[in-house]
Amino acid sequence: MSLASNDLAGYDPAAYDLIVVGSGFFGLTVAERVAEGLGKRVLVLERRNHIGGNAYSEAEPETGIEIHRYGAHLFHTSNERVWEYVNRFTSFTNYQHRVFARVGEQVYAFPMNLALINQFFGKAHSPDQARELIAEQSAEVATGTAANLEEKAISLVGRPLYEAFVKGYTAKQWQTDPQNLDASIITRLPVRYTYDNRYFNDTHEGLPVDGYTAWLERMADHENIDVVLETDFFAVREQLPDDVPVVYTGPLDRYFDHAEGELGWRTLDFEMSVEPTGDFQGTSVINYNDADVPFTRILEFRHMHPERDYPKDKTVIVREYSRSAEAGDEPYYPVNTPDNRAKLERYRELARKETANRNVLFGGRLGTYKYLDMHMAIGSALTMYENRIVPHLTEGKPLSGTDAED
């Protein structure tokens, strides 16, 4: 791997077999597989000054505590193919993610489980008694008749739990009263009738022992891969040859100059501070559910790696805020509205034509307008590599077609 920045000076794009736009997990998986699996040369273009996309992590200078610059990233998967692949580049800790939710002056184990129900209602319920309680409270609204997010949530967990744990948090996430949000945003609200408070249920879970950046750098560390940082694809687009296929992982609407209108995204703002204590909150994540608290949660990254020798008198916390993305913001979550879904269908048609006519494939969270966890992005990239890129680069078959969803 060679790293450069600013432009393509010294690089001949025509000398490569594939060009990848973006160095997140999707782009680097494709690049690594083509370089290692096929022995082909890959040029990766990255607009930021580092590889890794939103999974990038770095040491906070004052404390040395590893932070995730773009929000907490927790790796988990039940996909054995993905698990085998990622273990080629990193080993994982035994970290299991657990979230707590603060409501008023109380902190509850989350997601909703038997411990939360018993603590919230002040009574020791058996699993059957808890099921009966929630069924009684949720009967206020029939799920099939829910006209908005609030009614849908009440139909799933009842009004008391909705008002405490969903209403305020959702209003902050979307900057909108839940009564004005579509019911489809919440398809389910899991309630566990046990004391299990693991956030994920996947077979495999953990954090990379040496951090995300080390993992991502190992993926790109191949003699057939060149990564050019601080290089905007759109600034060098005219320098790229027509006969070299492209895997594009940037925003789908930006590729087509917003021809069908801008797709909506939610973004996140982060407020980081170093606190003069060895432990600020006792866990890695606490959600703040009350509407009058402006942030949605506080992250304390030291708790993600308890095995590390971090300072005993300082810690790093990050307050996270949610809002609608504007021009120049980092997009995080696609907004599932009828208008955006209609635009997306039109962009998908444009993308199909671009694949057929110009050998451009679209992937990743931004390129497909889907929220993808890391393991989903990697799995999708492996599928694209196997089903479309390998036949194209080895047999000359067209790139157009459809990948099976991973």
User: Which residue pairs, CB below 8 angstroms and at least 24 apart, start in 303-306?
Assistant: 304/66, 304/72, 304/95, 304/207, 305/66, 305/93, 305/95, 305/207
Helix axes 127-138, 114-121, angle to 10 degrees: 70
Give Cα separations from 202 to 34, 78, 178, 192 (angstroms). Answer: 29, 5, 30, 15
How do the domains of the chain map onto residue ranges?
13-94+205-261+334-395, 99-185
From the DSSP assignment, how many helices (H) and strands (E) are in the chain?
Answer: 15, 17
Cβ atoms of 309 and 329 within 8 Å: the answer is: no
Strands, E assignment, 113-245: 204-206, 225-229
Selection from 350, 388, 392, 322 nearest residue 17 by Cα: 392
Burial of 122 (0-12, 13-18, 19+ CB in 10 A): exposed
Architecture of domain 13-94+205-261+334-395: 3-Layer(aba) Sandwich (3.40)
- The angle at the Cα of 297, spanning 291 to 302, to the nearest 5 degrees, equals 160
Tell me the C-alpha to C-alpha distance, in Å, between residue 364 and each of 66, 202, 242, 376, 377.
25, 21, 22, 9, 6
Q: Is residue 111 reached through a cis peptide bond, with omega within 30 degrees of 0 on the bond before it?
A: yes
CA distances from 178 to 162, 166, 268, 368 (A): 11, 9, 19, 27
Eight-class DSSP state of 404: P
Q: What residue type is 54 in one-letter code?
A: N
Q: Which residue's structure tokens are 């432009």? A: 7
Q: Length of the chain in residues, anyone?
A: 406
What are the residues whose beta carbons fall under 8 Å from the beta carbon of 87, sequence distance 6 or more?
A: none
pTM of the model: 0.93
Q: Which residues are catalytic?
A: 188, 192, 266, 297, 320, 371, 373
Sheet holding 106-110, edge to edge: 106-110, 99-103, 285-288, 297-300, 315-324, 265-275, 333-334
Sort strands 18-21 and 42-45 into parallel, antiparallel or unpaired: parallel
pLDDT by residue for the chain (406 residues), tens only, comes to 555 555 788 899 999 999 999 999 999 999 999 999 999 999 999 999 999 999 999 999 999 999 999 999 999 999 999 999 999 999 999 999 999 999 999 999 999 999 999 999 999 999 999 999 999 999 999 988 999 999 999 999 999 999 999 999 999 988 889 998 888 888 777 899 999 999 999 999 999 999 999 999 999 999 999 999 999 999 999 999 999 999 999 999 999 999 999 999 999 999 999 999 999 999 999 999 999 999 999 999 999 999 999 999 999 999 999 999 998 899 998 988 889 999 999 999 999 999 999 999 999 999 999 989 999 999 999 999 999 999 999 999 999 866 554 4
